[in-house]
Amino acid sequence: MKTIEQLLRGARNVAIVGMSDKPERASHEVGAYLQQQGYRILPVNPAYAGTQILGETVHATLQEAADALARDGQHIDIVDVFRKAEDVPPIARDAIDVRAGALWMQLGIENRAAADLARAAGLDVVMNHCMLIEHRRLAETA
């Protein structure tokens, strides 16, 4: 099991499930920050599918996002979830199906069943942590 630091340092592609086009939403703020830090974000939100958020095409599903990366010989390193805790188990199954490296549930989001499912399939799991906060904390200690 990788640490948060190892996940953040080793990741390149982050699928953001529940990404909003509204700048005041946490998913948008985190996505913009991750882009500024050199990560490639893949917005996933069926309500915005086919449009662009932060210059990236929004995908309806994790599978679509994974397929887009696969064309470039890449994969999803982290699935960052901005959805209600009860919505996470199917996202965990999708993350497993696309062979993502990790399932990350943002601050305030915890689902033990989804975490257990993802871990059993070999994914690293983070619950109740914000990628932006964790990345900034690491940058401050570096």
Count the Cβ atoms, other than its own, within 10 Å of residue 134.
17
- Residue 14 to residues 53, 66, 76, 77, 122, Cα–Cα distance (Å): 14, 10, 6, 6, 18
**Can you give the pLDDT at residue 128?**
98
d(CA 89, CA 112): 9
Architecture category of domain 4-141 in CATH? 3-Layer(aba) Sandwich (3.40)
Distances (CA, A) of 108 to 70, 82, 84, 111, 129: 31, 10, 9, 10, 7
67-101 pLDDT, tens digit each: 999 999 999 999 999 999 999 999 999 999 999 99
State both tokens at 131: 């990628």
pLDDT tens per residue across span 94-132: 999 999 999 999 999 999 999 999 999 999 999 999 999
pTM, two decimal places: 0.97
Q: How many CB atoms lie within 10 A of CB 21?
A: 16
Query: In the chain, where are the structural domains located?
Result: 4-141
Is the CA virtual torsion 141, 4, 17, 53 positive or negative? positive
Please give the pLDDT value at position 142: 67
